[in-house]
Amino acid sequence: MEASKVIHAIYTDDDVLMAAVKKVKAAHHHIEEIFTPFPVHGLDKAMGLAPTRIAITSFLYGCVGLTVAVVMMNFIMIEDWPQDIGGKPSFSYIENMPAFVPIMFELTVFFAAHLMVITFYMRSRMWPFKKAENPDPRTTDDHFLMEISVNNNEDELTNLLKETGAVEINLIDKAH
């Protein structure tokens, strides 16, 4: 359940942010989101985010690419029209396989790379003309923003966040 009210705590240093995340987690508050201008090493671990599975999808896409290459060339070069081209043995796929390996390799990489990127775009909801979901433009430059859900504990949270070194704490009404 998403809270209707959230607190935006703004930091100016990634080390301070990391310490704050650990403190907030220790106090068992739910961190909705963190906006940073650049990747902060170890932030996902501190937040307790589940590891990504995108490498697994990439492996599977690569298998698809390899299959496409094999099936395609087996049909075209061996089954459909097994022509003698410069003495290459087109009697079976395996006999002429070395000639197909460059294409098998490239298609594997092509499928693995492109489908993984598309998966990434879809899963992270990124596309052209997408409305930016940026709560504060400064987070793209030099500020870090932590968004925490509020459940009638604003004062407690505000105090905690002040202690962690937040330079700015705002209570935001989230319109639904």
Partner 1 sequence: MYTISGKLRTVAFVLMILGAIGVVIGFISSHKSLDEVKEMLAAENAGHHGGGHEADTKAHVVAGGNDHSDNAHDEGAHDALADTDDIAHGDMNHGDDEASHAMAESGHDNANHDDKHAEHVQHQLANRPWSALYVAAFFFFMISLGVLAFYAVQYAAQAGWSPLLLRVMEGITAYMLPGALIVLTIALLSGIIGHYNLFVWMDPEVVAHDELIQGKSDWLNLTWFAIRGFIFIGGWYLYRHFSRKYSIAQDDADDNKNFIKTFRISAGFLVFFLYTESMMSWDWIMSVDPHWFSTLFGWYILAGMMVCGITVISMVTMYLKSLALLPKVNDSHIHDLAKFMFGFSIFWTYLWFSQFMLIWYSNIPEEVTYFVTRFQDYQLPFLGMVVMNFVFPLLILMNSDFKRIPWFVIMAGVVILAGHYIDVFNMIMPATVGDQWYIGIPEISSLLLFGGLFIFIVFTALTKAPLEAKRHPLIKESEHFHY
CB 151 to partner 1: min, Å: 36
Interaction of residue 55 with partner 1, rule CB under 8 A: yes
Structure tokens at 79: 């089954």
Structure tokens at 25: 């987690």
CB 43 to partner 1: min, Å: 15
Query: Can you tell me which of 22, 49, 53, 59 binds partner 1, judged by CB under 8 A?
Result: 59
Q: Return the number of the residue (63 or 167) whose C-beta is nearest partner 1.
A: 63
Structure tokens at 147: 């968004």
CB 118 to partner 1: min, Å: 21
Interaction of residue 48 with partner 1, rule CB under 8 A: no
Taken in order 130, 134, 138, 139, is the CA torsion positive or negative? negative
Helix (H, G, I), strand (E, B) or coil at 33: strand
Residue 84 · residue 96 · CB < 8 Å: no
| Number of other residues whose CB lies within 10 A of the CB of residue 104 | 18
Q: How far apart are CA 17 and CA 20, in angstroms?
A: 5
Taking residues 62 to 101 in sequence order and writing x for each that binds partner 1 by CB under 8 A, - otherwise, the string is: -------------------------x----------xx-x
CB 172 to partner 1: min, Å: 36
Q: Name the site residues for partner 1 (rule: CB under 8 A).
A: 55, 59, 87, 98-99, 101
